[in-house]
């Protein structure tokens, strides 16, 4: 029996994780579950899995959570501090599946316990890459990548040594607008952007997939998880999402990880690591799939991967500004306030105007950069 905490339990990755736990009731005990403000869903999950603790990030929701959990034996808590406390409860595995930089504090709290973190929350690593990887080393924590591409790379790296890597290739589905021309892209609606052809995901990451910023964030994420140098990380568009990423070694061998486009596969790989566990996934039927195709990314129509590469190369606070501006711009797009194609324009403006000269040296520094960049991006949106 191992213990598990899930930060962001009511989201898409949270649900996939709980599905695996539900299928293996004798292997897992749930320590803590958290959500932003979906009290009823959180309370139902906490009751179903007999969690020790349920936390709502939005403190105003705490009375409702308490009421919903009355008599269940599940403790209720609320607020940012409680989120970090939940994360630091020392579960055998903490699944970090909060969306956005809001997950940064809780991820660091788990790292500081020297725990094992199954990391889905890529924005945390993008904003605080150096600070986070240094903390992982200092506290002897274990970071297992949930993001399907990074999980694929992690698996392929079992086949060789990182110093023998010639190139890492991240695959990208290309998103729902892969074949759209520039004029049509300007008309894309939130409903069209969240309808991903291959993956069923939360709204923010779905928009990121449509702009290709998701691949940009993943490029930075890969750079921190697998330090082979920025020039050795490539991106290729692979619309079928069967190959989840590849590692090429210096002898010319390329290892790839293949599987269905279902997050339960990479999550299971983290939960069972270094072993394997049963999942309900059918075997891959390559004859039925027929062909796997590849194309170069088009940074003319989708500038986000260029912006991310530039932010990664600049280093320091640039990736945190890129991420903050993107979060604000994506929220504005989802709220119907800006056109789809303005997301990348806003991120580019933020990168050219808002990056402070000094590199963040601590979690507090990263959060300060994040707050400032968010506020200034918001101002920029209101002025135009």
Question: Annotated binding site for Mn(2+): which residue ranges?
Answer: 147, 149, 218
* Region from 21-29, 119-127, 187-195, 292-300 binding ligand NAD, contact rule CB under 6 A: 119-127
215 touches 172 (CB < 8 A): yes
Q: Cite the DSSP H helix spans in 78-176.
A: 80-87, 104-112, 122-139, 148-156
180 touches 284 (CB < 8 A): no
**Residue 99 interacting with ligand NAD (CB under 6 A):** yes
Per the listing, tokens 């190369």 go with: 313
Residue 4 pairs in a beta bridge with: 30, 93
340 touches 333 (CB < 8 A): yes
What's the CA dihedral at 96, 97, 99, 103 to 10 degrees?
-20
Q: Which is nearer to Mg ion, 31 or 241 (CB)?
A: 241
Q: From the CB of residue 358, how many other CB atoms can be counted at a distance below 10 Å? A: 9
**Residue 8 binds which one of Mg ion, ligand NAD, none, with CB within 5 to 8 A depending on kind?**
ligand NAD
- Between CA 349 and CA 343 the distance in angstroms is 10
The one among 120, 311, 320, 331 contacting ligand NAD by CB under 6 A = 120
**Residue 119 interacting with ligand NAD (CB under 6 A):** no
Q: Closest distance between ligand NAD and the C-beta of residue 164, in Å?
A: 27
Q: Closest distance between Mg ion and the C-beta of residue 245, in Å?
A: 9
The verdict on whether omega for the bond into residue 274 sits within 30 degrees of 0, i.e. cis, is: yes
**Residue 201 binds which one of Mg ion, ligand NAD, none, with CB within 5 to 8 A depending on kind?**
ligand NAD
**Residue 12 binds which one of Mg ion, ligand NAD, none, with CB within 5 to 8 A depending on kind?**
ligand NAD
Q: Closest distance between Mg ion and the C-beta of residue 375, in Å?
A: 29
CA atoms within 13 A on the CB side of 140: 0
Q: Closest distance between ligand NAD and the C-beta of residue 147, in Å?
A: 4
Instruction: Provide DSSP, 179-191.
Output: T--HHHHTT--HH
The one among 123, 147, 248, 370 contacting Mg ion by CB under 5 A = 147
**Residue 11 binds which one of ligand NAD, Mg ion, none, with CB within 5 to 8 A depending on kind?**
ligand NAD
Q: Closest distance between Mg ion and the C-beta of residue 148, in Å?
A: 5
- Between CA 10 and CA 45 the distance in angstroms is 8
Q: Closest distance between ligand NAD and the C-beta of residue 201, in Å?
A: 3
The one among 5, 14, 249, 328 contacting ligand NAD by CB under 6 A = 14
**Residue 129 interacting with ligand NAD (CB under 6 A):** no
Q: 327 phi and psi, to 5 degrees?
A: -60, -45
Among positive and negative, which fits the CA dihedral 154, 116, 41, 204? negative
The token pair that represents 161 in the structure block:
């040594």
Q: Which is nearer to ligand NAD, 9 or 268 (CB)?
A: 9
Q: Print the binding letters for residues 28-57 with ligand NAD: x by CB under 6 A, - otherwise.
A: -------xx-x------------------x
- Between CA 273 and CA 267 the distance in angstroms is 10
List of residues contacting Mg ion (CB under 5 A):
147-149
Summarize as ranges the residues that interact with ligand NAD (CB under 6 A).
Answer: 8-14, 35-36, 38, 57, 97-99, 102, 120-123, 147, 199, 201-202, 205, 263
């Amino acid at each position: 029996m191992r213990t598990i905490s899930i930060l962001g339990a009511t989201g898409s990755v949270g649900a996939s994780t709980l599905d695996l736990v539900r299928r293996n009731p004798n292997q897992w005990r749930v320590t803590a579950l958290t959500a932003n403000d979906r009290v009823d869903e959180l309370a139902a999950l906490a009751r179903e899995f007999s969690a020790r603790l349920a936390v709502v990030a939005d403190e105003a929701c705490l009375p409702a959570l308490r009421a919903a959990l009355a008599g269940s034996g599940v403790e209720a808590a609320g607020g940012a501090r409680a989120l970090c406390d939940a994360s630091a409860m020392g579960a055998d595995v903490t699944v970090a599946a909060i969306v956005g930089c809001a997950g940064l504090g809780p991820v660091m709290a788990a790292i500081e316990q020297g725990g094992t973190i199954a990391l889905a929350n890529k924005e945390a690593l993008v904003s605080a890459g150096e600070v986070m990887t240094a903390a992982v080393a200092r506290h002897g924590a274990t970071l297992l990548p949930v993001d399907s591409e990074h999980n694929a790379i992690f698996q392929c790296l079992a086949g060789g040594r990182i110093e023998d890597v010639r190139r890492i290739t991240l695959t990208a589905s290309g998103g729902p607008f892969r074949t759209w021309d520039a004029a049509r892209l300007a008309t894309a609606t939130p409903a069209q952007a969240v309808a991903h052809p291959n993956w069923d995901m939360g709204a923010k990451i779905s928009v990121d997939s449509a702009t290709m910023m998701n691949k940009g964030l993943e490029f930075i994420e890969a750079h921190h998880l697998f330090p082979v140098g920025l020039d050795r990380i490539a991106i290729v568009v692979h619309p079928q999402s069967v190959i989840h990423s590849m590692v090429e070694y210096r002898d010319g061998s390329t290892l790839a990880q293949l599987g269905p486009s279902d997050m339960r596969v990479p999550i299971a790989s983290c939960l069972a690591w270094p072993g394997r566990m049963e999942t309900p996934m059918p075997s891959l039927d390559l004859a039925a799939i027929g062909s796997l195709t590849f194309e170069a990314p088009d940074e003319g129509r989708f500038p986000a991967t260029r912006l991310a590469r530039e932010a990664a190369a600049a280093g320091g606070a640039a990736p945190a500004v890129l991420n903050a501006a993107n979060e604000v711009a994506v929220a504005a797009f989802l709220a119907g306030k800006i056109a789809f194609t303005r997301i990348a324009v806003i991120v580019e403006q933020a990168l050219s105007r808002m990056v402070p000269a000094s590199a963040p040296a601590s979690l507090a520094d990263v959060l300060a950069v994040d707050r400032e960049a968010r506020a200034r991006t918001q101002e920029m949106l209101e002025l135009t």
